[in-house]
Chain A
Amino acid sequence: MLEFRIVPGSVTPIYKQLVDQVRWAVFSGAHQPGTPLPSVRAVAEQLVINPNTVAKAYTELSRDGVIESRAGKGCFVAARRQIFSNAERSRRIQDAAATFVNEAACLGFSPDEIRAALERRLRQFSEESSR
């Protein structure tokens, strides 16, 4: 089961944090396709947030193909599928990169430091996915 944590009052909206956490969990390989996700209600009550926020996160995830909902049974991690076109994928990675770089720049890191941080994270990612 996925464990969620949120940081209220951060610059990232709550639903975005949830989406990011699910994404990270799925793409890091920690959870295989078919793993059940906790129900919206359970997440909402555990984190003490509005269920609609969780619902919104789940909706976005299922729209992106990260999770799929099976009737009557709930949401599960979806098998990885390419649902975006290459153009769309590259646009998305540009967006992600822009966000990351902006944040890092605001924090005052130099391009080398940014690159170093990125390398560290990628190393971590590949270690976890190989497990």
Chain B
Amino acid sequence: MWGAAALCGFILFWWSYSSDPWGQIYLGVFTNDKGHLCAIYVLWGVALGGLQFWRESRGDRRAFLFHRPISPARIFLAKVLAGGILFFGAAVPPFLFAVLSSVYQPHPMKPFDWRMSLPHAIDICCGTIAYLAAALCVSRPARWYLSRGVPLMFALTAIVLAVRVTEFWQALLIILFFDAVLALAAFGSFLTAGTYAPQPRIARVALIFVLLIGLLSLVTVLSLSLNAEYGFRESLGACREYHEYFVQRNGSVLLGKVKANWYPYYRDSYENIEEVADLNGHAVPVNSLRSVSGVLLGRARPDRELRYAYRDEMRYYEFVASDDVAPKFYRNLWYYVRSARRFVAFGEGGRIGSLGPDGFAPTNEAGAGFEGELKDSGWYQRGGHKLVWAFGDNIYTIDFEKRSVTRVRDLPEGEHIECFSFTNLYLETTYLLTNTSIHVLDANFKDLLGIARQFDARAYPSVIVYKTTAGYCVWYSANDASYSPTPPGAPPEQISLLDETGTVLKTTPLPIRGLIIGAANAPMTLDPPQLPESVSWRNLISAELLPPAGILATKYFDDEESAQLSLSFGIWSPLALGANALAMICCILVVLWACRRYALSRGLFFAWTALALLTGLAGLLVFLSVYDWPARENCASCKRKRVVTRDACEHCGAAFPSPPRDGTEIFEAVAERASIP
């Protein structure tokens, strides 16, 4: 039977691997970066875990399994080991086959790095989380409110987390951690056939953790989806008002107030410059604005390689060009392969060769790679087919058709390129930002402007260069080149006016102006924003679902914009806060009631109350679902209800009465036996 199941799994994976759009097994697998194949492994894990543990979870079968001179821990480990072998036995061979066939592919069409198989290894490992979650589900007692299925929600959360992190080792650690927690919880429930009290302490803690995270994610999703539409709609209708500095063509700087109504779902979103003033505060007519756009040279971005997660194929290579010349299109495809640091071409016959700083090397010959990281590139398309690439501390032009590499510029010792940019496709002017200098380059990559950075690169990572009528204008910003507004506490922007030769004429600091968000149609002021007029029922429910800690957390967001956005969620309205407080009081009351009714100790009461306050409704639900609530009977002496699990009544201390005797009992003390002759 197990053999048949494994075979099914095998066939399933084979089919899934081969159903890729390119019609080639190996490629289909490794161009996936979303983890959708994960679902297959998860289903396999769930089926395996459920079936394996369900059959022997009760009755005579359980007795057959348990009553033997092997500790339950070993029995559990043996089952998990068997399950693991089946799971990986069905999942790993097709995977290995795909990897090996990709590695030894005689006519590859794309570059392949063995690390591209890592995401799929993680997908397979995610199946183990599903396996253990299913084992736990099946060992838990069935209740009418479906608390049995919560571990699956936990597994879902864990898998989503594992799939979303950027590094392989992070995903592996996450999987190992969640596997350990689930294994402990599953073992505890396996040991006691689902009852809670006799489980070892660490298993109980693990079970509470599993249920808590599962319910928390459920509750959070519910809360957000209830609220999101409302909040989103609110921010849809939000007006943003912000101040922006505009560099004029003549080099002067003006401050404008911009109002943006932003309705992504509706057609009339617009941005409007409402008022303009010069730096001294004198108003300037709006229509006299003649701003010039600059080239943003941001701070040293992290390595292009590291910008992508291990799941993203862009981390390993990126498509750069096809040397197609009419009428032949897509004859050869060129990729920049990061591990080799060369440009590699793939054509009909497979890999054609690679281009490096030392020129073209055919087929599989190795060559030197480009020194330094690939920074940026530009197109250059005039009478030919050239591209410009910046690496480390050199700039190259590369003709993929002619397969030539020419170094056009290299930097002095100690300098390296931070950013290389361009304004138009014809590469008449390119811009270069190094760690110490700023250059504007002509078509031959010689300096039109070459100055040192006035401000330290760490304090002012971003540089924007404007070409003005009088020369240049360089704007230094503490922002890291993202387009969100600079937070208020940052150092002021600095603008330097330069002449044609690069001499600094004037440097002006510009104070930061923040971003204001308000409700639609509200009067725009710089005062703190008004809270929404009415709070919908959705706000109330979602506020009740979230724990107080969660609501407090929304206050301390990183940037002001998100903090201001959360106001539109209505969470901080008195009504919503009141609803939350009421919900929390109800939680505490429920816990109190249950503890008193079922005679739980005071320490437990405090512990569960703390958990409920910390985690909101989720904590309360965990409390209700984790205990096996005992029956209650009337006490014979004090006539109040008492739990049946304790020997002494919790109110009067009396023991349970012995069963009544009616004179027909026949009891005899055990006497010595005669020995058999």
Contacts and interface: CB of A to CB of B under 8 A. Distances in A.
Contacts of B489: none
Contacts of A55: 674, 676-677
B608 to A, nearest CB: 56
B676 A41 contact: yes
Interface size class of B (residues with CB under 8 A): under 10
Contacts of B673: 52
Interface in B641-677: 673-674, 676-677
A56 B675 CA distance: 10
B674 A75 contact: no
B677 to A, nearest CB: 6
A28 interface: no
Contacts of A66: none
Interface residues of A, number: 12
Interface in A6-51: 39-41, 51
Contacts of A58: 677
Contacts of A59: 674
Instruction: Tell me the interface secondary structure of chain B in the complex.
Output: loop
A39 to B, nearest CB: 8
B677 A69 contact: yes
A51 B674 contact: no
A52 B674 contact: yes
Contacts of B677: 39-40, 55, 58, 69, 74-75
A39 B676 CA distance: 10
A97 B333 CA distance: 119
A74 B676 CA distance: 11
B672 to A, nearest CB: 12
Contacts of B674: 52, 55-56, 59
A69 B677 CA distance: 9
A51 B677 CA distance: 10
Interface in A54-108: 55-56, 58-59, 69, 74-75
> Counting chain A CB atoms within 10 Å of each CB, which of B673, B674, B677 scores highest?
B677
A58 B677 CA distance: 9
A44 to B, nearest CB: 9
Contacts of A39: 677
A61 to B, nearest CB: 12
A65 to B, nearest CB: 17
Nearest to A56: B674
A22 to B, nearest CB: 15
Nearest to B673: A52
Contacts of A74: 677
Contacts of A41: 676
Nearest to A41: B676
A68 B650 CA distance: 63
A89 to B, nearest CB: 27
A15 B532 CA distance: 95
Nearest to A62: B677
B386 to A, nearest CB: 104
Nearest to A71: B677
A55 B677 CA distance: 7
B378 to A, nearest CB: 101
B326 to A, nearest CB: 103
Contacts of B676: 40-41, 51-52, 55
A16 B651 CA distance: 56
A39 B674 CA distance: 16
Nearest to A50: B676
A33 B677 CA distance: 20
A42 to B, nearest CB: 12
A62 B342 CA distance: 108
A60 B674 CA distance: 12
A84 to B, nearest CB: 23
9 contacts: A40-B676, A52-B673, A52-B674, A52-B676, A55-B674, A55-B677, A56-B674, A69-B677, A74-B677
Interface of A: 39-41, 51-52, 55-56, 58-59, 69, 74-75
Interface of B: 673-674, 676-677
- Per CB-CB distance, the 9 closest pairs between chain A and chain B, nearest first, are A55-B676, A51-B676, A40-B676, A40-B677, A55-B674, A69-B677, A55-B677, A59-B674, A52-B676
Given A52-B674, A52-B676, A55-B676, 7 more contacts: A39-B677, A40-B676, A55-B674, A56-B674, A58-B677, A59-B674, A69-B677
